[in-house]
């Protein structure tokens, strides 16, 4: 079975600095998707960034970028120029490509605090 591990329960970053959140996963599949979701204190979860496993290029969305290392099964999220609004729980998630496996497997989350 696939698993997703986030080894950092909590992280802290100074405003305007850069922080990297770690995620590793375990799968025997070659085609899959990886995601980072953000859950602000208001609790509604939103998608931050998505990576297709077949793409070698790391995904980027404005200040958010990932370091996808397929062989190492690692998928870290880098937040540049951190802002107070980035404070949230961040969840790494895995999804097998296609078939009937339409559901996501989530890690336990990393709570990010941003200090002014």
Partner 1 sequence: DAEITQSPRHKITETGRQVTLACHQTWNHNNMFWYRQDLGHGLRLIHYSYGVQDTNKGEVSDGYSVSRSNTEDLPLTLESAASSQTSVYFCASSRDTNTGELFFGEGSRLTVL
How far apart are alpha carbons 71 and 115 in whole angstroms? 34
Closest to partner 1 by CB, 102 vs 116, is 102
**Dihedral, CA atoms, 36, 40, 44, 50, nearest 10 degrees?**
-10
- In the window 4-23, what residues touch partner 1 (CB under 8 A)? 6
30 contacts partner 1 (rule: CB under 8 A) = no
How far apart are alpha carbons 16 and 84 in whole angstroms? 9
107 contacts partner 1 (rule: CB under 8 A) = yes
44 contacts partner 1 (rule: CB under 8 A) = yes
Buried (b) or exposed (e) across 13-44, using 16+ Cβ within 10 A?
A: beeeeebebbbbbebeeeebebbbbbeeeeee
Closest to partner 1 by CB, 79 vs 91, is 91
CB of 7 vs partner 1, minimal distance in Å = 13
Judged by CB under 8 A, the stretch of 17-25, 54-62, 64-72, 93-101 that binds partner 1 is: 93-101
Closest to partner 1 by CB, 103 vs 116, is 103
């Amino acid at each position: 079975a696939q698993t997703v591990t986030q080894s950092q329960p909590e992280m802290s970053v100074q405003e305007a600095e850069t922080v990297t959140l770690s995620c590793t996963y375990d799968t025997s599949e070659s085609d899959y998707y990886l995601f980072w979701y953000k859950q602000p204190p208001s609790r509604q979860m939103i998608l931050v960034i998505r990576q297709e496993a077949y793409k070698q290029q790391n995904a980027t969305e404005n200040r958010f970028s990932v370091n996808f290392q397929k062989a190492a099964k690692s998928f870290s999220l880098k937040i540049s120029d951190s802002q107070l609004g980035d404070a949230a729980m961040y969840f790494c998630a895995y999804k097998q490509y296609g078939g009937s496996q339409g559901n996501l497997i989530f890690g336990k989350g990393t709570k990010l605090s941003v200090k002014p």
